[in-house]
Amino acid sequence: MAMQGVEDSDRERRFDEYIGLLGDTLHHADRQQPFRNYVTGLLLPGERKSVEPMAARIAPSRVSAEHQSLLTFVSESSWDEVTFLDAVAEQVLPVLTADDGVTAWIVDDTGFPKKGKHSVGVSRQYCGELGKKENCQVAVSLSVATEHASLPIAYRLYLPEDWSLDEEKRKKTKVPSDMTFHTKPDIALDQIWDAVARGLAPGVVLADPAYGNNTDFRDGVTALGLVYAMGIQFTTTVWPPGAGPLPPVSWSGRGRPPTALRRDAEHQPISVKALALGLGAQVWQTVSWREGTNEDLKGRFTRLRVRPAHRDEKRSEPRPEEWLLIEWPDGEEAPTKYWLSTLPDNIAMAELVRVTKMRWRIERDYRELKQELGLGHFEGRGWRGFHHHAALCIAAYGFLVRERIAFPPCTDRGSPGIKASAVPTGYRPRGSAGTARAA
């Protein structure tokens, strides 16, 4: 018991140091205590991590005053969440990458189902959490990953085009005037550009087909000097190994020489699905990519060197060859997943699969951020509060990542060694199962 007390004391000291360093980005001294309290509330156990129940756990004798303090800090204070997340990365990434180095930069988005329609960015759109189109908010993020851990370093709400054009909605939710419509791949590419500009150690850019199927996004990543492994849809067209578009038509000696590549009725690219179905059984091999809970995760794969064909008839040079990686699980009638990758042409098959499959880490990030740290529990409607709450959740997650790496085994989730005060008898936060809600 005495040793546990020492461990808790040391951990709380590290938490205070971490909070103190991050607090320097907030600039105002009166923000330091609500900042510490807010992150503490996110880390402490509890069903809800919205402002009122956190206030009750932190200051049960003055819930109303603490609630107002936290609400003002997260929704009204003018601190910059981008600068704050940069500071989180500065504190966490050196510990995260000390032994492993950076393996990947992972692009993804996550949805937050909403019943109402007044919260910033809410629209009927695809929600990954539900696996279908639904009323929700969606945020785009970029995470830095090593072999054993990862950390989101950028996070921004996707503002649907109808929201971008609706001045009344923008005014009510205080969307910044310079925040215009950008697609999700546009947002992700901006985040990657910023990470490159900051000089962060590069990793292989991983993304699902929502991003990988966008040729401009893949080209943008390549233009930044990065390599990628991105999911694509089965309808994506490529030139099979050894093939490519036809050269420009012969010059007649009049006008400018033609430069556009060509296709004709007999010379066309092929969908990756059609290409895969035409391959013989001998090309498929079983590859294991990581340890699962009970056994190694493995599947049937093949790979080919292909040239992406999207709009290459508008180009003067064929696109470079890259890897097409295909997964065809046993028992399935057709392949289920396809990726394009600019990883080196001499990379081993097992390594190509392993790196490509590292995108699973972002799912773990979001699971813990949502289930343990309340990423989706913010009840405000405004742009500033949405991003502030997310940045604070990422800061709390960053502290846990640091603790687990620097002081293993540290597998407990939640409390950073700080004891929660007892909540008042009979207290029920708004939104809990035992509380009646106004219509």
What pLDDT sits at residue 100? Answer: 86
38-52, 189-203, 336-350: segment of lowest average pLDDT: 38-52
Hey, which residues does 145 pair with through a beta bridge? 104, 150
Q: Are 338 and 367 in the same domain?
A: no
Please report whether residue 32 resides in a domain: yes
Please report whether residue 255 resides in a domain: no
Q: Which tokens belong to 352?
A: 């190509």
Domain end position, chosen among 292, 308, 342: 342
Are residues 365 and 92 in contact, defined by beta-carbon separation less than 8 angstroms? no
Mean pLDDT score across all residues of the chain? 89
Sequence-ordered strand ranges (E) for 332-373: 337-341
Confidence class for position 262, pLDDT limits 50, 70, 90: confident
Q: Are 45 and 88 in the same domain?
A: yes
How far is it, in rounded angstroms, from Cα 52 to Cα 64? 8
Judged on CB neighbours under 10 Å (0-12, 13-18, 19+), 266 is exposed
Beta carbons within 10 angstroms of residue 84's beta carbon: 21
How far is it, in rounded angstroms, from Cα 62 to Cα 422? 12
Q: Are 236 and 332 in the same domain?
A: yes
Q: Are 322 and 374 in the same domain?
A: no
Are residues 157 and 134 in contact, defined by beta-carbon separation less than 8 angstroms? no
How far is it, in rounded angstroms, from Cα 260 to Cα 271? 22
11-15, 149-153, 154-158, 407-411: segment of lowest average pLDDT: 407-411
Please report whether residue 347 resides in a domain: no
* Burial readout 108-128 (b: 16 or more C-beta within 10 A, e: otherwise): bbbbbebeeeebbbbbeeebb
Please report whether residue 164 resides in a domain: yes
Q: Which long-range contacts (CB under 8 A, 24 or more apart) does 176-183 make?
A: 176/383, 179/383, 182/158, 183/214
How far is it, in rounded angstroms, from Cα 259 to Cα 267? 18
Rounded to the nearest angstrom, the gap between the alpha carbon of residue 377 and the centroid of all alpha carbons in its chain is 18
Give mean pLDDT, residues 3-31: 84
Query: What does DSSP assign to residue 240?
Result: P
How far is it, in rounded angstroms, from Cα 203 to Cα 233? 23
Q: Are 171 and 277 in the same domain?
A: no
Please report whether residue 352 resides in a domain: no
Structure pTM?
0.89
Q: Are 181 and 271 in the same domain?
A: no
Sequence-ordered strand ranges (E) for 345-399: none
Question: Which amino acid does the sequence have at 338?
Answer: Y
Please report whether residue 257 resides in a domain: no
Domain end position, chosen among 292, 312, 342: 342
What pLDDT sits at residue 199? Answer: 96
How far is it, in rounded angstroms, from Cα 327 to Cα 63? 54
Are residues 154 and 85 in contact, defined by beta-carbon separation less than 8 angstroms? yes
Question: Phi and psi at residue 379, in whole multiples of 5°?
Answer: -105, 0
What pLDDT sits at residue 425? Answer: 52
Q: Are 130 and 70 in the same domain?
A: yes
Percent of the chain with pLDDT strictly greater than 90: 72
Q: Are 66 and 179 in the same domain?
A: yes
Q: Are 379 and 333 in the same domain?
A: no
H-run or E-run covering 277: helix 272-277
Query: What does DSSP assign to residue 246?
Result: B
Q: Are 30 and 174 in the same domain?
A: yes
Longest Cα pair distance anywhere in the chain, in angstroms? 92
Name the residue range of residue 20's domain.
Answer: 2-205+363-406
Please report whether residue 438 resides in a domain: no
Q: Which tokens belong to 353?
A: 């699969």
Please report whether residue 357 resides in a domain: no
Q: Are 103 and 152 in the same domain?
A: yes
Tens digit of each residue's pLDDT (9 = 90 or more) over 280-297? 999 999 999 987 767 788
Radius of gyration of the chain (CA): 25
Number of domains in the chain: 2
Q: Are 238 and 299 in the same domain?
A: yes
